[in-house]
Amino acid sequence: MKNRQHSRRSLRVVGRALTALVLATAAAGFSLGVASPAQAASTTMCSTSPVPAGWVVTEVNTNAGAICGPFLFFRITNDLWNGMHMCSVTQPPAGWVVTEVQTNARAICGPYLFYRIKMLG
């Protein structure tokens, strides 16, 4: 009798452990098999490097010598939305058009033009 109870308890423990292992393996396999989605983001960079594809410059700071030395300081984003502004350092991404151009936006775009953009379609 005692031996029988012990084996049932052992089987339950082993069964639970196997169930936990199967669930953990399935969850890990699922999470590893799914490609991570593109993330919308904004960041800053110096003009010493090219702006990454799919990103636009939204602000140019010409007085950031402590950060970028003699180069310009860019605020960039890949989070695009209709009606947003960008600076003419970069071209609008494919599928986007310029709807407004301002030449007097030095406070935002430094020596570049100020564009307002929207998605085609």
Domain boundaries, the chain: 1-36, 42-119
d(CA 57, CA 92): 10
Is 21 a residue whose pLDDT tops 50?
no
What's residue 118's pLDDT? 96
Whole-model pTM: value is: 0.65
d(CA 63, CA 59): 12
Higher pLDDT, 37 or 60: 60
| Average predicted confidence (pLDDT) for the chain | 79
Each residue of 66-75: pLDDT tens digit?
A: 999 999 999 9
